[in-house]
Structure 1
């Protein structure tokens, strides 16, 4: 198996056609077909279905595509680490959960362009469960995750502690006229939450169990956009940080209430691989993310979040 075969395979999948991939790669199509055939023989599996409309990945091809992407990224990172000068340069891919990107993505991207013009910062927004797998495989260099006690495979740096609030449509009947609710009251409502392996859900379930409580009526939605639409349709309430729905709150479409007895919060951390050495650029973006998070917390631009170590 050769690196060029991995590059060829990824290009074919990305472009959905042998002819288009050959054109982009500047490789004759028969040569591309031969390399693909050798790769499939080496692996002992068919990776692509050929049809008149193009090519489609087999189940084996889908699995191999993820690994091929990760390997090619690690090779690019290794090359960048060797060629970098004292001035950080290269590509850094950072994964953000949906519920964090609204607060952190644009400020971090702006700061990176200002401080490190030779670094290309690529931001990807994913469910937390997906980000964990991408970080393990090396497809992303860094990921913002939530400390649920399961992050031991990663090197972690605390960014902030973020309060979770009870959020509903402004005119919803849930606890009208009140500024706060108990956790038991919040859990008793019809809640719209991510699935058990994503986002705030593991933290909510853990705090509920510790308090001898449990969620009762839950609608599971793994998309912030769809979740907000469901809130606005008055299908239920949610328990989230304020940041993802700040625009709707400012427009008067939603409101939030504090949760107490007990309060509920999550620890936001920056994660990196323990096994893959970071490039100079990755280290620079890591430090910048910590600084940007602290500035956002201190300036009130990240609602409900407190920089770690703050009183």
Structure 2
């Protein structure tokens, strides 16, 4: 059985939305069509891509890795279908600001692809915190930014999210919570909690914790994702972080597992920002269209 683009599109929609029913609604097709496509895809690959649960589906480790390949395949097909226009003529310099998490775990691959698409366009990257990025966009120091749009509320900026990365509970390989059928923030509250602080992660975490009667038992606050990874893998604590920064192994080679929480924990949104009412230059337009074609349009194609 051959792999098809339809299977990939249905797989991506399900992975992003976490429920077969929601993927079907998003794609305007029947749920049975989504279920059949994913079953066919798993049979073709010879591996399980999702773990089914009471509240929806979650990607397996193989599913997470395959999702990146699915994005790349769909984007490549989309690019092949388009008639080249600006690729050979677009010139100039584009200053792009990015936050730490985005630059570390998301942006470099896409900058490499943009460089291949537009070899005469120079992209200058600047790593900054959100406040500095917002100020730089408003004053014109930077043309665009790629950052956590879920943290931005500045009315002077235009925002365009491109991905929504689900946040899950991270635990060590033999943690007792893995044996439970369902896990809530109430279950997590007594556990030693490792709180990431970079890119306002701690403030974001407390927003959803504050909507409950529970509070995390924080034993360490750190700006290092690798420190969080090591602490969790070594059994010293748990954490709640997004799939974008998830890796199944710590630097010591110890396993990290994830659990989908029953509570409403918001996804981490990553996207573009620029000064509102600013006329997009050809380079800005090209970058915007690249991200639209890579992520946004592949989601809604049936």
SS of residue in 1 equivalent to 2:249: helix
Distance 1:221 1:228 in 2: 11
Distance 1:294 1:209 in 2: 32
Q: Does 2:149 correspond to 1:146?
A: yes
Equivalence for 1:114 = 116
SS of residue in 1 equivalent to 2:288: helix
Contact 2:97 2:142 in 1 (8 A): yes
Any unmatched runs of 5+ in structure 2?
A: 1-85
Contact 2:148 2:268 in 1 (8 A): no
Contact 2:226 2:250 in 1 (8 A): no
Task: For residue 130 of structure 1, report the CA deviation from its aligned partner.
Answer: 4.6
SS of residue in 2 equivalent to 1:106: helix
Equivalence for 1:279 = 281
Task: For residue 249 of structure 1, report the CA deviation from its aligned partner.
Answer: 7.4
Structure 1 pair 170–106 and aligned structure 2 pair: CA distance change class (3 A): same
Structure 1 pair 228–135 and aligned structure 2 pair: CA distance change class (3 A): farther
SS of residue in 2 equivalent to 1:292: helix
Equivalence for 2:240 = 239
Q: TM-score, normalised by structure 1?
A: 0.57
Equivalence for 1:162 = 165
Q: Aligned residue pairs: how many?
A: 215
Distance 1:157 1:220 in 2: 30
**Which structure has the greater CA radius of gyration?**
1
Q: TM-score, normalised by structure 2?
A: 0.58
Structure 1 pair 148–243 and aligned structure 2 pair: CA distance change class (3 A): closer
SS of residue in 1 equivalent to 2:290: helix
RMSD across aligned positions (CA): 3.5
